[in-house]
Amino acid sequence: MTGPPEGAVPIASSEDVVRMRQAVRAAAAAAGMSLVDQTKIVTAASELARNTLVHGGGGTGRVESVVNARGRAGVRLVFSDTGPGIADVEQALVEGWTSGSGMGLGLPGARRLADEFALETEVGRGTTVTVTKWTR
């Protein structure tokens, strides 16, 4: 919420969501993830990027290759928007609850698909979601 993070690419259209998916798949493959884990993090990226686009009114996404203290490689994704924010975070993370016409599984699903999940939001200021997945 303090301007776009470094290395972030804009998410302003459905094509950007597709591009983001491809970038995440490439990063996950480079980190040495299994096909299952690649698909999981790509799907999480897809959900979060679409949230940024649909609910946040567009924003930015960033893909990072990270290594943890024990030397395991991973992929971290940061999605930021300056949209309306989420008034009730707990409700937004409840399965099946939707503010729009979706299935209401995107945010809770992305949380389950990733290993680490962080959500920062402020009503009227925007939302930043960070997820990380480590190779096994």
Site residues, another protein (CB under 8 A): 14, 18, 21, 25, 35-36, 38-40, 42-43, 46-47, 50, 95, 102-103, 105-106, 108-109, 112-113
Q: Which is nearer to another protein, 103 or 118 (CB)?
A: 103
The minimum distance between CB 47 and another protein, in angstroms, equals: 5
Phi/psi at 134 (nearest 5 deg)? -105, 150
The minimum distance between CB 124 and another protein, in angstroms, equals: 26
Q: Which is nearer to another protein, 57 or 100 (CB)?
A: 100
From the list 103, 126, 127, the residue with the least C-alpha distance to 118 is 127
Q: Which is nearer to another protein, 98 or 123 (CB)?
A: 98
Q: How far apart are CA 127 and CA 107, in angstroms?
A: 12
